[in-house]
Amino acid sequence: MSTDPGIEDVTAHRAQVLADFAQYLNPQKVRVMKAAGLDLIEADRSGAWVEDIDGRRFLDCFTSAGSFNVGRRNPRVVAAAHRAIDSLDHGNFLLVSEQTAALAAKLAEIAPGDLTCTMFGCGGGEAIDFALKLARGSTGRHRIISTVNGYHGHTGFALSASGRAAFREPFEPLMPEFGLVPFGDVDALAAAVDGTVAAVLLEPIQGEGGIIVAPEGYLAAARQICDDAGALLILDEIQTGMGRTGRWWASEHFGVEPDIMTVAKSLGGSLVAISATIFSEDLREFLIPNPFIHLSTFGGSDVACMVALEVIDVIEEDGLLENATKRGAQLHAGLATIAAAHPDQVADVRGLGLMAGIEYAEDSMGPRMSFHLAQHGVLAVYSGNQPSVMRLMPSLVASESDIDHLLTGLDAALDDLVHGRGLPEEPSSGRTKRRPPRGERS
């Protein structure tokens, strides 16, 4: 670091952060990020964009897997957070809270069908854990069916439902009575669901699985199969919800209402940790004899609820559902053109609204394309369970020119890949930029 207290030597600062992260967290994570050109360190975050400590600007198309629907540090949400912090804290979790009640009431308004009751948590895995507890508790059945390559988080019940063996196997035995079926296969689901099944857990669009949109009729068939067997349908809208696909919930595209829905990520407006498991009043019966059967000290904290309420208002009042639809159409049209121009590199493009995926011809292209895209000012990461697929999930505040930037960058990155241009550099390759401290930047 520079001895001048107002000025940072960015190259040294970056090297130090990477070294500290490697030493005190995980060196392999640093290596993986470096190999994919993603060893950038985020500094200024604003709307659809992020600037790293080197002063490079990126259109954020990862958005923490769909966590920044209202944009990063949306000014209205930041102001709501300031107001909340000025007068509140996270609250006493055992007591009745005005802020928590207000958010639950608002969620009841926007949730599908008769889902009017909420249990709050801090993260997506916690929301899934409670959804599965509620399903078992209220049906008195044990079996849970989820899908191959599905992703629901790394906590206990959620991990047991994970569709990827590499995440589950080191910790087995996990929860008993969990089974997997291929996503989109109605016959396999029908064969798996009988009178012992408490719930079927599905993402309307598999996110980590590679942006796989539920095939036509699949969710409706799942609804029917569950109804016939007396099982519950849980839809995990943690990536797909909060307007990502142009509707509040992706399930609306399919005309299907779940019994339980999980929400997290974007509910926190890029600022706070909050998740919600939303369910119908008849399922709430299970919680009446013992309202303390599931507790979370930080879940649905007073401050987080005030932030989430503002997030919902922003999505409604700033027309972000409409923008997701419009910008999604622009993105998908552009992706189709790029796919046609690069038939040897692009196997498929797909998605709904601003949840898009581009499937490359081979797995190794995922990390290589992350690298090349970063060179063109686009931050994009391949799917966790499917490295050949890159997720493109910009914030719902993205403008027409932002989507143009993404498409131009993607085209140029594919060109670089084809021509073998721009191989990875050392992170501290002599580039030193002086940058004033945060408070003094305009």
Ligand X SMILES: Cc1ncc(COP(=O)(O)O)c(C=O)c1O
- Between CA 442 and CA 428 the distance in angstroms is 26
Q: Minimum Å distance from CB 124 to ligand X? A: 2
Q: Minimum Å distance from CB 130 to ligand X? A: 12
User: Helix crossing, 302-317 with 320-341: angle to 10°?
Assistant: 70
Site string for ligand X, 132-151 (x = CB under 6 A): -------------------x
Span from 5-13, 118-126, 387-395, 422-430 in contact with ligand X (CB under 6 A): 118-126
350 binds ligand X (CB under 6 A): no
Q: Minimum Å distance from CB 199 to ligand X? A: 15
One of 74, 239, 245, 296 touching ligand X (CB under 6 A): 239
125 binds ligand X (CB under 6 A): yes
Find, among 145, 93, 142, 140, the residue nearest to 119 by Cα.
93
65 binds ligand X (CB under 6 A): yes
Nearer Cβ to ligand X (162/330):
162
Stretch (H or E) spanning 157: helix 156-160
Span from 76-84, 130-138, 218-226, 233-241 in contact with ligand X (CB under 6 A): 233-241
Residue with tokens 């914030």: 395
Sheet of 42-46, strand order = 42-46, 49-52, 57-60, 378-379
152 binds ligand X (CB under 6 A): yes
Span 298-327, contacts to ligand X by CB under 6 A: none
Span from 34-42, 53-61, 234-242, 419-427 in contact with ligand X (CB under 6 A): 234-242
Q: Minimum Å distance from CB 374 to ligand X? A: 21
Stretch (H or E) spanning 42: strand 42-46
Nearer Cβ to ligand X (203/302):
203
| SS3 letters across 366-394 | HHHHHHHHHHCCEECCEECCEEEEEEECC
One of 91, 123, 137, 366 touching ligand X (CB under 6 A): 123
207 binds ligand X (CB under 6 A): yes
Residue with tokens 């209205």: 76
Q: Which residue is nearest to ligand X (CB)?
A: 124
387 binds ligand X (CB under 6 A): no
269 binds ligand X (CB under 6 A): no
| DSSP string across 90-154 | S--TTS--HHHHHHHHHHHHHSSTTEEEEEEESSHHHHHHHHHHHHHHHH---EEEEETT----S
- Between CA 371 and CA 369 the distance in angstroms is 5
Nearer Cβ to ligand X (37/123):
123
270 Ramachandran zone, left/alpha/beta (phi>0; psi -120 to 50): left
Nearer Cβ to ligand X (128/225):
128
203 binds ligand X (CB under 6 A): yes
Chain contacts with ligand X (rule: CB under 6 A): 65, 123-125, 128, 151-153, 203, 207-208, 236, 238-239, 264
